[in-house]
Amino acid sequence: MKVFYCDTETTGLNPQKNDIIQLGYIIEIDNEIREKGNITVQPSDYNNIEASALATHQISVEQMKTFDSPQIVYSKLINILNKYINKYDRNDKFIPAGFNVKFDIEFLQNFFMKNGDKYYGSYFDYHFIDAMAILFLKRYAGKIHLDNYKLETASKYYGIKIQAHDALSDIEATRELIMKMIKEINWS
């Protein structure tokens, strides 16, 4: 199985209006990490940067201006994906994985669209693995109770080091969290 663990830092919460400015990713194939990276990208529109986003990830507008353009980053991302996926094979896809990963998926889909590419689905399956959903299942089963169900809190509970709101640190912690929760499942 091919898994694309990903976490994004963005300029806001609306994937149509706001942009990705940092993408942390881990590519795993058959349970082996093949590649990981941290990509920074300028926003497409500096007018849609929300102050609350800046306060969360602590990436300044001045820093963003030093990042590569969306077009350059899109090209780099496609080259990375093409190393592992045959986009013409409908059965060769990454399963996206993350923490509240639908958020990141929506931003990635819109990043493709903003770069004139409507074929996100050539690389990514519509199924996904979500660490937050697993935590909620554990809560439902009475196996865990946390003060909140944020990545930072879950990481602390499981003894995982994290530098919250850094995309690469977040996705490394998420992958470790998923691996620990999978080991806890009684598969019989």
**DSSP conformation letters of 140-169:** HTTS---S---HHHHHHHTT----TT-HHH
Would you tell me how many other CB atoms lie within 10 Å of the CB of residue 2? 17
Summarize pLDDT for 82-100 with one digit per residue, the tens: 999 999 999 999 999 999 9
Task: Check residue 188 and give its pLDDT.
Answer: 62
pLDDT band for 140, please (50, 70, 90 cuts): very high
Residue 117 DSSP class = -
* Percentage of the chain exceeding pLDDT 90: 96
Q: Does domain 2-130 have CATH number 1.10.3720.10?
A: no
Show me where the domains of the chain are located.
2-130, 131-184
Q: Tell me: pLDDT of 69 over 80.
A: yes
66-70, 85-89, 183-187: least confident range:
183-187
Q: What's the order of all strands across the beta sheet hosting 2-10?
A: 32-40, 20-29, 2-10, 95-98, 129-130
Summarize pLDDT for 15-52 with one digit per residue, the tens: 999 999 999 999 999 999 999 999 999 999 999 999 99
Residue type, 31: N
